Amino acid sequence: MMKPSDLLYIGLGAAFMAKEKIEAQLKDLEQLGTISREELTKFLDEAGQRAKQEKEALDARIREIVTEAIRETGLATKEDIAEIKALLERRNGS
């Protein structure tokens, strides 16, 4: 059975392959004179910005999902452990 991380890696791999193919096709179009160097650069810059925004959104969503999973399983967070440590230190007079 595939894990969610496997699906993520497959998706990222496909995205990188698609990016490389698109860049190659755009360079071919530039060489044929179909698009200008400026149009090519602008497209690649915009695509890079969109990819960065999508990655940031994906990272945020993954953090939300992991945080919710931790909350549902009842695992102690760093904050929980720090609070317990502070209580123990106060109790022991340290």
Using CA atoms, how far residue 19 sits from 34, 52, 68, in Å, is: 19, 13, 32
Can you tell me the mean pLDDT for 31-51?
Answer: 82
Q: What is the pLDDT of residues 49-78, one digit of tens each?
A: 888 888 888 889 888 988 888 888 988 888
Sorting pLDDT into bands at 50, 70 and 90, what band is 20?
Answer: confident
* Dihedral (Cα; 50, 14, 44, 47), 10-degree rounding: -10
pTM for this predicted structure: 0.52
pLDDT band at 1 (very low <50, low <70, confident <90, very high): low
